[in-house]
Each structure stands twice: as C-alpha cells, then as structure tokens.
Structure 1
Amino acid sequence: MNGPTTGSDVASRARAVQHLADRWIGNALATGKPAGGGSFVCSPAGLWLALAAVAAGARGETARELRALLGTADREAAPAVTAAARELALTGALEVATRVWSRVPVRDAYREALPDVRFDDLTDPAAADAWVREATGGLIERLPLAITDETLLALVNVLALKARWEKPFEGWLTRDRPFTDASGRTRPVPTMTKGVPLADVRVVDGTYVVELRCTAGEGGGEGARVRFVLGEPGAGAGQVLPAGWADRSTGTRPETDLVSIALPRLALRTRIAVTGQLPALGVRLATSDAADFSGLSPLPLAVSDVVQEAVLKVAEEGVEAAAVTVVAMRAGSAAPPPQRVLHLAFDRPFGIVVLPAATDVPLFAAWQADIPSGPGHAPSGPAHAPGGPAHI
C-alpha cells in the first residue's frame, strides 16, 4: 500500500465503480436484455474488482484501454483493488474474496502487489467450484463458465451478502397485488408493505429512491443499504438505476407527510457473458492477440472470457445477494390534521441497488422488468439458473 487511505481515495474508487456501472448498464445490459423479459441482476463492484485485478498486470495500450473504463490499470491498480476490497469488507454481512487459479507462471511482483489474493495451481476445476459454493453460502453452486484446456488462468471474484432488514416487513401484511411488467402484462404477485420514514425517501431526476437499511450481522461493522428505485412509467433500466447510486445529498424530499411502500418478494438470477460487451465499453486489446499482460505473467496472455453470475433475493426478513465474476485468460405518524400520504407501489418495472454502509458503491444492481418470482421460485428460461429458497 502506498500510505494511508484518504477520504478522497475512497470517493475516487467509488466514482470509478459508478462510472463502470453507468457504462455497463447503459451501453450493454439495459439494451442487450441478458435475461428473458429484460430483468437482470449484476454486480458492478464485482466486475470492477475482477477487471481491475487483471488490469494490474496490463501494460501499454492494453492498460490505457482498461484505465479509461476502470479508472486504474498497470502498477497503480493493485493497491486500488486491495484498498477497495478492504473498504467493502467493512460492511457487515458482506464477504469479499478474490482468488487466482493458473497453469502458467505468475510474476512474483504481481502476487506481492495483491496480498489479499490467494494463488493456486489450476489442476482441478472442481476445487474452484467448491470454493465458489462455500464463499457464496450456496447461492451460486459453481463457476459460471467451464474451465477448458485452453484456460491458462482464471481470476475469480466473489461478493456475497446475507443481511436482515433493520425493520423487517410484517409477514401477515404480505398479500397478492397486481404487478405490470414491461410488456404491459399484469399478474398478481406476493407483495410486502410497510411504512418508511420520509427521511429515507427522495426524488432524483423524477425517480423515487427508497432506502432500506440492514443490520450489520454477527461480524460487526456497519449494515448494508438497499435502494429501491422507481422511475416514470415506461422508463428503462439505464434511465432509472443510476439514481440508486447517486450521492445521498442529491435529490429532493417528496411533498408528503407519510410514505408507505408495496414491494414484491423476488428472486433474480442472471448469468452475463461480459466478453462480448467489452468492445462497447472501450476494451478491445485485452481480448486480442495484441493484449499486453506482461506485468501478470512472462508468457503472453489475453482475456478469453469475462462471465458473471449474480443472484438477488428480497423477502420479508432481509436480502441475500451473491455474484461470481470470472476473468479467464487463454493463450415513517398520524396527527390530528389530515396528512398527505405517498404510497409507492413497486407494481411496474423497478430497480434495486445494494450499497455498502459508508459509500455509494453499487455492490449489486438489478432491474425487475417482468413478473417477479419470489424467493424459492426463481424464473425459468435459458438465461436463468434455478434458484433455491431464501434462508435469511
């Protein structure tokens, strides 16, 4: 590390993840519809940590491209990755880990620059699957891609959150309410309701942002925060989700006295092939034969695949979320006067952003565009893996 971390360093890294989130969701996810119906869940923080760790071994023009997307690359990236991961790990109930499996020599300087990353020989892909399963508490069973003979190195980042709401929803208030998906189809879904303090609600560029806080968990630290973002009817993910990581000082309070919300129980799971999205994000050399990762290994390497699988479950008791990102390398009270009540029904496409306690880093971002499937009833279809019951 290069000296103590300052507030400006933390803010700079948060902005770097937000920049990646803006570009990734706006340029690829919101337009590419990686999951049936347009719903998805992803981890901007997980993708940033994985790509930035690989970028620590990039040099020359390859590093320049990655720096434009990530805000860091080359030799300064490793300290940034280490600091960012340690900052995120201060959030209670959040696990952060990165591991590298390799069949090729890895430079000593690269290993030493990433002191929190474990390096192993890539001899048994099942060992990587077992680590993913353990690190995510079973939310994700295995690597989201197959390790082949052509895979010379795999860098894997895991983010996993299992947290309870500070004030859980009352289960007896949950009942079926209508939800209208992006195509205009309406169906009844199990929907939770409760009052929310006005201080936890704001409007950012026409989008309602409701923040719910989680307890820290047994490990201490500060609890995570989850923002539910509801835009104007017809607004898409690229327009709505950025309000979820906007600075908490932005926006205005709604003109109301009380706020209640109606929020569907949900379970989302998405596997995203990021590799094909990288050119839209300005990264081309890293996946080409001209890639320069000479700071990582003395052998020539190029990125063959970047894949992320993420899952998010929201229920009465709390929230569970996990993401595995792999970079594979080849060769609110009644009063006597009438009060204005704002009832926010998340009964149409809406967004979800999970943040750490201290910064506005988007750990997870999700877009619920089709009919929600509650925990234990994960959506079916080729873009979704089966989801298990929530245990919170």
Structure 2
Amino acid sequence: MNVAEVNAMTAGWAGRVHGTTVLSGAGVWPLLAILAASADEPGRSELADAVGVPADDGMEAARQMLKALGDIDGIDAALGVWAQEAAQVYPEWAAQLPPANVGQLTGDPSVDKPELDRWARDNTGGLIEHCPVDVHPDLMLVLATALALRTTWVQKFSDDQLKPKHGAWAGRRLAGLNRTSRDLDELSVADTDAGPLSLARIEGDNGLDVHLVLAEEGQPPSDVLPAAIAVVGGEWPVRTGAQLLDAGDEPSAPGVRIVSAQRPSLSITTVRFSVRSEHDLTEHAELLGLQRVSRSREGHFSRIAPVALYLGQARQSAVATFSATGFEAAAVTAMGLSLVSMPVYKARGLQLTIDRPFGFVAVHRATGLVMFAGWVDDPEPWQDE
C-alpha cells in the first residue's frame, strides 16, 4: 500500500484549501493511478509523477491500494466503471482493472444518473447521495471510487453546551463534547512550519483514530493541515502529554493548560461537527497530474478505446461527522472521460473547399482587366520537411 504517496498527495491538496472542508486523497489516488496506466504521453508521465509510481505499475498499484483499504476493519472501498457501447472499450484494458462494479452508460441522463447515484448511496451507506458527475451524451466512460469509514470511540464523550469566551466562536452556544482520560499521551505537541500544533488522538475501537489538531489562532488550514499530516506521519518530533506535565511549566501549546485534578489525567473539550464538501479536482490539475489529459482538442487514452477520449470531469463529494460516540466519513470520487469533438460555435459560417481541378483568373481590381487566366489540373504534392 502506497501510504507515503497517498499522504503526500493529501497534504499537497490540503495545502490549497480555504475554510471548512473535508477531502480524501485516498479516494482520488487509485483513480489517478489507473489513468496513469491508461494514458498516452505526455499525460501518462504527468499522471505518474502525480501518483509517485511508474505508469506501467499504476494498475497494479491501484489494485493493491483498493484491496488494502477494503481489508481494513471499519472501511469499505469500491471501484465502479461504466461505459457507453459507442466507446468501444478494449476488453483487454477492462480485464486489467481492479475488481469493480461494471455497468453500461446509455447516453440518456435520465437513465444513467439514477444508476450512478444508486451506486454512490449503496457503497457509502447513504452518506453520499449523488455521484459527482454530470451525465450527457458525450460522456463515454466513468471511473469512480467510493470510500466509507466508521468507528466508535473506545471512550465516549459526554454532550455539553460550549460557549467560548474568546476567539472566532466567542459568544456562540455550541454543541460541546467533553471527556477525561487517564492516557496523557493521547495529547502530543509539535513545533512545525505552521507553528506549534496540539494534537488529540481519539481512539476508535477498530484501529481507526481521529486526530484533532489545534494551531495558534489565525493560522490558515492550508498551513495547518499539511503540517498535521507530517506530524501524524512521524516527520516532526513531538512532546507527549506526560512529558508536558512532568516539565511542570505552563505548556506553550495551543489550547493546552495545566489544571487541578484528582489524578494525572487529560480532559478534552471539543465540538460536534458535520462537514460536507464538493471538490472540482481540475482546479488542482497541476498537483494531480490532470493538465494534459483534460485538454479537449485531442484524445489521450488510446489504451482504453479506439475513440478519442479526454478527461472532461474530475470531482469528489465528501462528508465527515464527529459525535460523542464515534466518527463516520465517506467520499465518492468520479472521473468522466468524454468524446473529443470539433468545436461547436453559436454563430453560423460558410466553408469553401477546393479539392479538385479548378481555374483561376488574375484581375486588375480597379479596371477589371484580366491579366492572366488558367486552370489547375496537377497541384503541388506535399513535401515533408
């Protein structure tokens, strides 16, 4: 499982976000790996660079990633592939795909969209209701992943009203959560490029954890999230909660202070949240390796089909919910390959094609005097440079 490559992509994407959001690089990466194995140059190399594996290994890397995700307790992972008959998808390409739900597109949005949406709902337990792709007659192929994650806290929170006195939420009445644990090391603090970060690890009962990350006030998510991913990945040294308490001094860590307690303990106060996001991945085409293959003037996927295809859509719908009892999240990511066609303009024009023997007349414009007249039976042949 390409953990480092997926985390690097997630961190790079997180470094571009603004405001409330949820995203899943793990949902995008297998699709990009499949596209890398399927694309023509120069898009093939661009995609391979984005996923961090050679293009020739992309299909197998996607297969291993999806299998590894599906084998994790608490995670469901699925791949879906739908194609129009007119796409003439090569059977040998389809045979190389990871195990997938294979369906047919009719070109009729009223038929195809409900089928794609049903797949999204079924494979996320209803957390994602719609597949994030626009269906139209030129949509030849859809590749999609669905990820769903669920865990229950080993130690649950209690619900309580939270009314912050300071900061961006000052004066608001919020759905607060509280709990006290004897495991001081559920808290860790790191000094990073984004400044000091305080991370609280909330342990799930199936091997899945959620790290709540607090930075100094005013730090943007585009700085904090990549730094937090690096901390979780062991790239920054940390001080544990036990080390902070043993030091005796008031910790210089965001949101952390020493309080009176009956025994050494860690009390965590936070909030319930539910976040939904819609992402257009083509807005990050440079990061994700989509610049070349999304150019609609030419085909980029001759390994998939004999018709000229380009990446017309790349989107993700994601949701995450944190409660007193646990955490659940889901993402559906879809890539839509469309048929390359000649540009269609609203204005009308005329075109004259002279492609058989023809005559010519050279005229003095002012007087109408014909200077030369002639006929062309044998034009010049094309000469390669």
Q: TM-score range by the shorter chain?
A: 0.7 to 0.9
Give 1:294's aligned residue.
302
Larger Rg: 2
> Which SS does the other structure have where 1:65 is aligned?
helix
- State yes or no: 1:20 paired with 2:6: no
Q: Match for residue 160 of structure 1? A: 148
Match of 1:187 in 2: 172
State the AA in 2 paired with 1:199: D
Are 2:282 and 2:290, in contact at CA under 8 Å, matched by a contact in 1?
no
* TM-score, with length taken from structure 1: 0.72
Unmatched 5+ residue regions in structure 1?
1-9, 217-222, 332-392
Separation of aligned partners in 2, 1:199 and 1:303: 46
Which one is further off, 106-115 or 40-49? Answer: 106-115
Give the match's secondary structure for 1:325: strand
- Aligned sequence identity (%): 27
> For the Cα contact (< 8 Å) 2:204–2:326, is it kept in 1?
yes
Match of 1:170 in 2: 158
Deviation per residue, 1:109-141 (Å, 9 max, x gap): 322222312322112321111111111111111
Q: What residue number does 1:354 align with?
A: none
- Total equivalences in the alignment: 303
Amino acid at match of 2:285: L
- The Cα of 1:75 is off from its aligned counterpart by 2.7
RMSD, aligned α-carbons: 2.1
TM-score normalised according to structure 2 size: 0.74
Aligned match for 1:100, one of 76, 81, 84: 81
| 1:230 matches 2:211 | no
Flag the 1:258–1:19 CA change in 2: closer, same or farther, 3 A: same
* Counterpart amino acid of residue 217 in structure 2: P
1:308 equivalent to 2:316? Answer: yes
Cα distance 1:318–1:60, how it changes in 2: closer, same or farther (>3 A)? same
Cα gap change, 1:180/1:279 in structure 2, threshold over 3 Å: closer, same or farther? farther
1:103-252, aligned counterparts within 5 Å? 103=84, 104-123=87-106, 124-125=111-112, 126-171=114-159, 174-178=160-164, 186-196=171-181, 197-204=183-190, 205=192, 206-216=196-206, 223-246=207-230, 247-248=233-234, 250-252=236-238
Distance 1:97 1:282, change over 3 A: closer
Give the number of the structure with larger relative contact order, counting CA–CA contacts within 8 Å between residues 6 or more apart.
1
- Residue 82 of structure 1, CA deviation: 0.8
Given that residues 79 and 143 in structure 2 are in contact (C-alpha distance below 8 angstroms), is that contact kept between their aligned partners in structure 1?
yes
Gaps of 5+ in 2: 246-263, 340-385
1: distance between equivalents of 2:269 and 2:22? 20
Distance 1:265 1:87 in 2: 30
| Distance in 1 (alpha carbons) for counterparts of 2:48 and 2:165 | 41
